[in-house]
Chain A
Amino acid sequence: MSQILLYFQKFQTNIQKGIWPYVATLAHILLGTLLVYFSPRSTIAFLILVTSFFSLYYLKADNRFKLIAGITLALIIVPILGVRNIFYLEIIFQISVFAALALGLNIIVGFAGLLVLGYVAFYAVGAYLWGFFGSQQYYVMPFAPGTQPADLPFLLPGDAFYLFLMLAIIAAALTGILIGLPVMRLRGDYLAIVTLGFGEVIRVLANNLDKPLNLTNGPQGITPIQRPSLPESVVNGFNSIFSGIVGHPVDQASLYNVMFYILALVIIIIIVFVTKNLEDAKIGRAWAAIREDETAAVAMGIPIVKMKLLAFAIGASFAGAMGALVAASRTFVSPESFSFMQSIGVLSMVILGGQGSIPGVILGAATVTILNLQILQGFSLYLSQLRQSDAVIPIINFAWRNLSSQLDPAKYQRLLFGLILILMMIFRPAGLIPAERRKRKMASDTVEAKE
């Protein structure tokens, strides 16, 4: 056993030397690409492709090489493989959405140390903003849900979406400040419960603001919501270049998925850029000081109310942008998408990856989303196949056919989130990829302990 471990350590050091990182990264990307290309239904192939992002991140290579390889992977390989099997593009889009949400929550929880349990409220603000202005809802207002005439016009053209993406950022940031202001004086655990309350308030409002004026269309949700335009020429252009590689001509609907994926990617890159710069700037250090010891931070002259509100506003604005994007890509918003469970899902991504760690949080989002959409659903499928077969569990003599049809692992997300939260807190509270600052702190802590 120790022999294997030793060998593994040797492998780890060797692969970081000379040209080996380049070879390993390219091999990984190529292997993933080919596997997904030739067997688009295999989960393992997909996992190999997705993990190639992480070998790109981990292996020591020239930054220019990493950039080029990353861009090729994200902007060329993934869209082409994505339109070949649209299901994977959907998963990658969801990973991007949750990565953006997790990065936003990471600013509040990971950097500033404020536990917020109603984070999806900000996401809902962005989604409902474009949901209201990007649909016929303005003209539906006088009607109760379901009674409006059929041929109502749209309030705004679909291309106003880009403007509203900006407005959603502002609106969510303002909501963040509004929610933050009254609760700033509260201690950590009270803050958690109060933000949970705010999250529920937003959901209940979305559910019930269909009267006296029909603003949200109640539990049915708003649909259809417009998308920004995607001209026919782009579709034809894409097809003329790539349809040979994809294997079949791509229709507009699939290309829309690519477009939203790229938009999400752009937003994530902006978020990562902003977050990275904030982390080591004065603001980031002020947040760290507040997180570690609030009293000391006040004593050092850090304006804690301002800094906490800033964390709320910035964290919220990311969610607002993603909300508007998701509303447009789904063409549908409903209160159900903004439940407490979603907030906890995003929290478990941050906790799993590592609070305050940007690559960690993205890894957390990817892991949880894949577990949710691939592993749990795969397990569901497997169980339903077993149910249809004649298989019997040998010793206890239980026929799979008698297994309750209510038992659908795909619906056991809470179990997943709960396990992640408990196990991470007990065994690895700093997360899978601990933040640099925390690593440094832990190292100094152990030195102190030894002395």
Chain B
Amino acid sequence: MKRFSKLINVRELLLPLGQLIMFSLGSAIVLSTIVLVLALLLDKTAIGMAVTERFNASLFTYTLINLPQVLIDGLTIGFVYAAVALGYTMVYGVLEFINFAHSEIFAVGAFVGVEILIALDTAGVLSKVSLGMAFVILILAILAGMFAAGALAVTVERVAYRPLRGAPRLVPLISAIGVSFLLQDVIRLVEGLTTGQFNRIFPTFGNFDERLIFGEVGLGATTITMGISIKSIIVIVGAVLMLVGLNYLVNATKIGKAIRAVAQDRTTASLMGIDVNHIISLTFLVGGLLGGAAGVLYALKFTRIDPFVGFFPGLKAFTAAVMGGIGNLTGALLGGIVLGMLETFAGSYMGIFTMGAAGTEYKDIFAFSILILVLIFRPQGLMGENVTQKA
């Protein structure tokens, strides 16, 4: 028993789990309180009247009844953002460089996973698999997406970033933007040549679309069902596994120690016998693996993907990474969860609270507003230390 605990550092496994639960609960409680207080305040105004007229319930009840669903949705998308944000944050921690192409690596992961499933579907395999096999196939698709994305990330680093190491800061960033644009069209080209369509749909199989219902509430003429779909559970479980695994890799293994050393001081690390180029490739590989898996999970949740699917999740994940304090793994988790929650809250309630003047369509720029606010008032992020700027 003693030997076992030496082999596996239990603390590093439990700590991130605890953090995840804490962050999720914390942001859920804070945001719910804000929304409920707002609802109470606005109940007697014209906005409250409008809601009462439409749903035959007060604004407060309306808000309260919708809350569980909003929380679940927010948590699901939050975990996807967190998984992508880790890719940005790891690369930034090691190279101080925004890997703009990470969103396309995410997209490539999604495409590889979905294409494999579509191929299986047209071969007629998916329609007659058992429930257990469905899960196995899904896991295999996720793994395929992961490895494709990881290999791509390493290649991109080798071809487009490594020759530019040591150049002024903006040079590799511009190259990364170029890679991002190039990859979008390469996906389009490959899809156009092979399948002739750019929009791919995640095939339905297994019981992923079913929802576990835990309650129905009547609201005026409509009834609102509260539940969580199986695929949301898969997304959350998958993301949590990855996050914990990555945290373990970085904080409790020898490789992780090398990664942290390179992040802290590249020259000294190389003097200590660490192969810096190797570690940087490894960082991109890990980031790519996480991004690819997140891509397949994203496709599972939202069903439809196109070559530009990476852009918004990528940007939001970057926002999450900055919000948490870029370069900080725990910060990326916090940022992802908070951003996912905030965005879902905004998407669900903004329309009601502004009487339809501004609704879900502003969801995407909501993340930017947060990014700008964070950068203005707390550039080091929620959990980042105040580091001096390097030129």
Q: Is A417's CB under 8 angstroms from B178's CB?
A: yes
- The yes or no answer to B193 lying at the interface (CB within 8 A) is yes
Which B residues are CB-close (under 8 A) to A189? 97-98, 169-170, 173
Which A residues are CB-close (under 8 A) to B164? 425-426
How many interface residues does chain A have, given as a range? 35 or more
Assuming A412-B189, A425-B174, is B365 touching A200 (CB within 8 A)?
yes
Assuming A187-B389, A406-B198, A425-B171, is B192 touching A418 (CB within 8 A)?
no
Q: Is A201's CB under 8 angstroms from B365's CB?
A: yes
- The yes or no answer to B265 lying at the interface (CB within 8 A) is no
Q: Is A197's CB under 8 angstroms from B372's CB?
A: yes
**How far is it, in angstroms, between the C-alpha of A201 and the C-alpha of B367 when the chains are bound?**
10
**How far is it, in angstroms, between the C-alpha of A419 and the C-alpha of B178 when the chains are bound?**
6
Name A415's contact: one of B172, B186, B311, B371 (CB within 8 Å): B186
**How far is it, in angstroms, between the C-alpha of A421 and the C-alpha of B192 when the chains are bound?**
24
Q: Is B177's CB under 8 angstroms from A117's CB?
A: yes
Residue of A nearest to B97 (CB): A189
- The yes or no answer to B180 lying at the interface (CB within 8 A) is yes
**Contact segment of B213-221, B330-338, B356-364:** B356-364
Which has the most chain A C-beta neighbours within 10 Å: B189, B196, B198, B368? B368
- The yes or no answer to B302 lying at the interface (CB within 8 A) is no
Chain B interface mostly: helix
Assuming A204-B362, A204-B365, A412-B189, is B372 touching A422 (CB within 8 A)?
no
Residue of B nearest to A196 (CB): B315
Q: Is B181's CB under 8 angstroms from A421's CB?
A: yes
Which B residues are CB-close (under 8 A) to A198? 368, 372
- The yes or no answer to A193 lying at the interface (CB within 8 A) is yes
Q: Is A421's CB under 8 angstroms from B198's CB?
A: no
- The yes or no answer to B204 lying at the interface (CB within 8 A) is no
**How far is it, in angstroms, between the C-alpha of A260 and the C-alpha of B270 when the chains are bound?**
60
Interface string of B28-55 (1 = CB under 8 A from A): 0000000000000000000000000000
- The yes or no answer to A294 lying at the interface (CB within 8 A) is yes
Interface string of B193-230 (1 = CB under 8 A from A): 10111100000000000000000000000000000000
Q: Number of contacting residues on B, CB 8 A?
A: 51
Q: Is B376's CB under 8 angstroms from A182's CB?
A: yes
Name A404's contact: one of B163, B192, B357, B369 (CB within 8 Å): B192
**Contact segment of A22-30, A149-157, A206-214, A316-324:** A206-214
Assuming A115-B174, A429-B171, is B361 touching A207 (CB within 8 A)?
yes
Q: Is B177's CB under 8 angstroms from A344's CB?
A: yes
Which B residues are CB-close (under 8 A) to A425? 164, 167, 171-172, 174-175, 178
Q: Which of A327-374 contact B (CB under 8 A)?
A: 340-341, 344, 347-348, 351
Q: Is B189's CB under 8 angstroms from A407's CB?
A: yes
Q: Is A415's CB under 8 angstroms from B181's CB?
A: yes
- The yes or no answer to A414 lying at the interface (CB within 8 A) is yes
Q: Is B188's CB under 8 angstroms from A412's CB?
A: yes
Interface string of B371-391 (1 = CB under 8 A from A): 110011001000000000101
Assuming A193-B371, A418-B182, is B364 touching A204 (CB within 8 A)?
yes
Which B residues are CB-close (under 8 A) to A200? 364-365, 368
Which B residues are CB-close (under 8 A) to A190? 322, 375, 379
Q: Is A426's CB under 8 angstroms from B179's CB?
A: no
Shortest distance from the beta carbon of A183 to any chain B beta carbon, whole Å: 7
- The yes or no answer to B24 lying at the interface (CB within 8 A) is no
- The yes or no answer to B147 lying at the interface (CB within 8 A) is no
- The yes or no answer to B106 lying at the interface (CB within 8 A) is no
Q: Is B192's CB under 8 angstroms from A407's CB?
A: yes
Q: Is B188's CB under 8 angstroms from A194's CB?
A: no
Which has the most chain A C-beta neighbours within 10 Å: B163, B170, B182, B379? B170
Which B residues are CB-close (under 8 A) to A187? 169, 389
- The yes or no answer to A185 lying at the interface (CB within 8 A) is yes
Residue of A nearest to B196 (CB): A404
Residue of A nearest to B318 (CB): A193
Assuming A115-B174, A419-B182, A421-B174, is B375 touching A406 (CB within 8 A)?
no
- The yes or no answer to A148 lying at the interface (CB within 8 A) is no
- The yes or no answer to B22 lying at the interface (CB within 8 A) is no
Which has the most chain B C-beta neighbours within 10 Å: A188, A295, A414, A417? A414
**How far is it, in angstroms, between the C-alpha of A183 and the C-alpha of B368 when the chains are bound?**
13
- The yes or no answer to A420 lying at the interface (CB within 8 A) is yes
Interface string of B285-297 (1 = CB under 8 A from A): 0000000000000
**How far is it, in angstroms, between the C-alpha of A422 and the C-alpha of B101 when the chains are bound?**
12
Q: Is B371's CB under 8 angstroms from A208's CB?
A: no
Residue of A nearest to B104 (CB): A418
- The yes or no answer to A160 lying at the interface (CB within 8 A) is no
**How far is it, in angstroms, between the C-alpha of A360 and the C-alpha of B355 when the chains are bound?**
51
Name A418's contact: one of B179, B356, B375, B379 (CB within 8 Å): B179
Q: Is A294's CB under 8 angstroms from B391's CB?
A: yes
- The yes or no answer to B160 lying at the interface (CB within 8 A) is yes
Which has the most chain B C-beta neighbours within 10 Å: A115, A294, A415? A415
Shortest distance from the beta carbon of B186 to any chain A beta carbon, whole Å: 7
Which has the most chain A C-beta neighbours within 10 Å: B167, B356, B375? B375
Q: Is B357's CB under 8 angstroms from A211's CB?
A: yes
- The yes or no answer to B184 lying at the interface (CB within 8 A) is yes
Residue of A nearest to B188 (CB): A412
Shortest distance from the beta carbon of A38 to any chain B beta carbon, whole Å: 37
Shortest distance from the beta carbon of B348 to any chain A beta carbon, whole Å: 17
- The yes or no answer to B275 lying at the interface (CB within 8 A) is no
Name A113's contact: one of B160, B170, B365 (CB within 8 Å): B170
Q: Is B185's CB under 8 angstroms from A115's CB?
A: no
Which A residues are CB-close (under 8 A) to B183? 418
Assuming A418-B179, A422-B179, is B160 touching A293 (CB within 8 A)?
no
Which A residues are CB-close (under 8 A) to B356? 211-212
Which B residues are CB-close (under 8 A) to A415? 181-182, 185-186, 189
**How far is it, in angstroms, between the C-alpha of A294 and the C-alpha of B391 when the chains are bound?**
8
- The yes or no answer to A192 lying at the interface (CB within 8 A) is yes
Interface string of B146-179 (1 = CB under 8 A from A): 0000000000000010011001011111110111
Q: Is A194's CB under 8 angstroms from B185's CB?
A: no
Which has the most chain A C-beta neighbours within 10 Å: B180, B181, B365? B181
**How far is it, in angstroms, between the C-alpha of A123 and the C-alpha of B28 when the chains are bound?**
40
Q: Which of A415-436 contact B (CB under 8 A)?
A: 415, 417-422, 425-426, 429
Shortest distance from the beta carbon of A425 to any chain B beta carbon, whole Å: 4
* Pairs of residues from A and B, 4 with the lowest C-beta to C-beta distance, nearest first: A421-B178, A418-B182, A197-B368, A418-B181
A-B contact pairs, 23 of them (CB 8 A): A182-B372, A183-B375, A183-B376, A188-B173, A190-B379, A196-B315, A198-B368, A204-B362, A212-B356, A348-B178, A404-B193, A407-B189, A407-B192, A407-B193, A415-B182, A417-B178, A418-B179, A420-B178, A421-B181, A422-B175, A425-B172, A425-B178, A426-B160
Given contacts A406-B198, A425-B178, 5 further A-B contacts (CB under 8 A): A182-B372, A183-B375, A183-B376, A194-B372, A194-B375
